Amino acid sequence: MERFLMDELVAWKDRPRRKPLILNGARQVGKTWLLKEFGRTQFENVAYVNLDDNPRMREQLELGYDIPRIVSAIQFETGEVVSEGGTLIVLDEIQACPKALTSLKYFCEDASGYAVAAAGSLLGITVHEGSGYPVGKVNTLDLHPLSFREFLAATGNRTLCDLIDTGDTSLINGFSSKLVPLLRQYYYVGGMPEAVSVFLERGLLEDAREVQLEILRGYERDISKHLSRAETEYALAAWRSIPSHLGRENKKFVFSHIAQGARARNYRAGITWLTQAGITTLVRRISKPGIPLAPYADDAAFKLFLVDVGLLGAMAGLDKETVVGGSEIFEEFKGSLTEQYICQQLVSDCGLTPYYWSAENSSGEIDFLAQGANSVYAIEVKAEENLRAKSLRAFKESHPEIKSVRFSLSGYREQDWVRNVPLYAMSNMGLWG
């Protein structure tokens, strides 16, 4: 299965001033597979150590930061001869051994010739920031579930992926009849690598759903494992409420929707955990579309999305006929899957941090705001081909300096105040204006 992050891994390998690499990402997004595949294709050999189930190596790393001794221990453990430049050292589940994380600093300072890549729980790595985290001594990359473009490539439609990348709007519009069914398929299967893989084996959507449900159960086990009993109760309640929140007209996360009388302070820690673990994306409200956007973010008002559109469908119990079978998907669940899709593509394919805007009097809302290199984009999401966007037009009139873009099933078209970009082509930011 092709992952587009491979190109960035190769670029890291070829850097003249390469530092040890940390590959961040939620559980089950394919970090281990990608690093092993990277090592297999780009190095002479791979020395792989899983620190979660290897107390012997954890003990060796706890002894200190003598790099020659650590390298020797890795050789003895893996049976691989470790050479500078020729071997990829992979330290998996690095959060299980804090001193292993710290050791990356010494690889950087004292043994920069070794190619060292670490992977682990996003949460576990985040927790150690500020206490032994090798600040300034590592390179980092983020891995997400397969984007729609990666899904196209995985399903034998790489040419359609290339078509989107060309930005040829007449051709893109002309092939909507092929791209829309594939988009609906992606809504159901999602981008979790195992779900995509089992779907490809037999072409059965049910196989993907079984994997999705197991991943969801695994995430809930993680919540229970890492939090206290009281914190677990609140985190699970917040987690399980996400489909109902996203199913509302106003998708803002409202604590009273979880339980009558629910208080924000009880749930904040749990939501922070979900976000730090990478299994949710917190989209904060923006009070003003200025550059940079971050200072205008309101931490008290936010929307909460999942890491993957397929997982949202599984949590909501949406059946394949609803999602894949026809236009019903764009009427049911009030466009929730579509907004989930846009949110995760903004993060994975576009490398942007999503926000949203709403008026103080609740008279208008912009689904997403995102900051590009030199522009702020106001984004309206339409699940159908209905192109009415009163809020977006009013927002554009009030803030003429921003760029307005609408994602819908309609073909690409330019108007004086907005560009309509097909949902399946949103990854090409050149189309946004």
Q: Of 90, 107, 142, which closes a domain?
A: 142
- CATH number at 111 reads 3.40.50.300
- Looking at the structure, do residues 301 and 339 belong to the same domain, yes or no? yes
93 within 8 A of 50, measured Cβ to Cβ: yes
Residue 342, token pair as written in the block: 């846009």
Q: Across the beta sheet with 355-358, what order do the strands follow?
A: 297-306, 280-286, 355-358, 365-371, 376-381, 403-408, 419-422, 413-414
Residue 162 located in a structural domain:
yes
Residue 126 has pLDDT above 80, yes or no: no
Q: What is the mean pLDDT of residues 186-197?
A: 97
**Residue ranges of the alpha helices (H) in 137-287?**
148-154, 158-166, 169-174, 176-189, 193-202, 205-226, 229-240, 242-246, 264-276
Domain count, the chain: 2
Residue 359 located in a structural domain:
yes
- Looking at the structure, do residues 176 and 113 belong to the same domain, yes or no? no
21-55 per-position pLDDT tens digit: 999 999 999 999 999 999 999 999 999 999 999 99
Classify burial at 363, counting beta carbons within 10 Å of its beta carbon; exposed 0-12, middle 13-18, buried 19 or more: exposed
Q: What is the mean pLDDT of residues 131-145?
A: 89
- Looking at the structure, do residues 98 and 239 belong to the same domain, yes or no? no
- pLDDT for 122 equals 63
Residue 125 has pLDDT above 70, yes or no: no
- Looking at the structure, do residues 48 and 118 belong to the same domain, yes or no? yes
For the chain, what is the mean pLDDT?
91
Query: What single DSSP character describes residue 325?
Result: S
- Looking at the structure, do residues 123 and 178 belong to the same domain, yes or no? no
Task: Report CA torsion sign: 159, 165, 168, 171.
Answer: positive
- Looking at the structure, do residues 56 and 158 belong to the same domain, yes or no? no
pLDDT band at residue 405 under the 50/70/90 scheme: very high
306-343 per-position pLDDT tens digit: 999 999 999 999 888 888 876 555 465 668 999 999 99
- Looking at the structure, do residues 32 and 103 belong to the same domain, yes or no? yes
Q: What is the mean pLDDT of residues 78-86?
A: 96
Residue 239 located in a structural domain:
yes
d(CA 233, CA 207): 30
Q: Of 120, 142, 164, which closes a domain?
A: 142
Q: What is the mean pLDDT of residues 390-406?
A: 92
- Looking at the structure, do residues 161 and 222 belong to the same domain, yes or no? yes
**Residue ranges of the alpha helices (H) in 250-387?**
264-276, 309-316, 320-324, 336-348
Residue 185 located in a structural domain:
yes
Residue 89 located in a structural domain:
yes
Task: Choose the weakest-confidence range: 177-191, 232-246, 310-324, 329-343.
Answer: 329-343
Residue 1 located in a structural domain:
no
d(CA 388, CA 319): 29
Instruction: Give this prediction's pTM.
Output: 0.93
Query: What single DSSP character describes residue 425?
Result: G
Percent of the chain at pLDDT exceeding 70: 94
Residue 417 located in a structural domain:
yes
- Looking at the structure, do residues 232 and 100 belong to the same domain, yes or no? no
- Looking at the structure, do residues 255 and 394 belong to the same domain, yes or no? yes
Among 116, 125, 17, residue whose Cα is nearest residue 65: 116
Q: Of 88, 116, 142, which closes a domain?
A: 142
- Looking at the structure, do residues 134 and 283 belong to the same domain, yes or no? no
Query: What single DSSP character describes residue 423?
Result: G
- Looking at the structure, do residues 334 and 273 belong to the same domain, yes or no? yes
337-394 per-position pLDDT tens digit: 999 999 999 999 999 999 999 887 767 899 999 999 889 999 999 877 666 667 899 9
- pLDDT for 329 equals 52
Return all residues near 337 (Cβ < 8 A) that are at least 6 apart.
187, 309, 312, 313, 318, 323, 329, 383
Q: Whole domain around residue 383: which residue ranges?
A: 148-431
- For the stretch 129-134, contacts whose Cβ atoms lie closer than 8 Å and that sit 24 or more positions apart, written own/partner, are 131/98, 132/98, 132/99, 132/101, 132/102, 133/101, 133/102, 134/20, 134/101, 134/102, 134/104, 134/105, 134/108
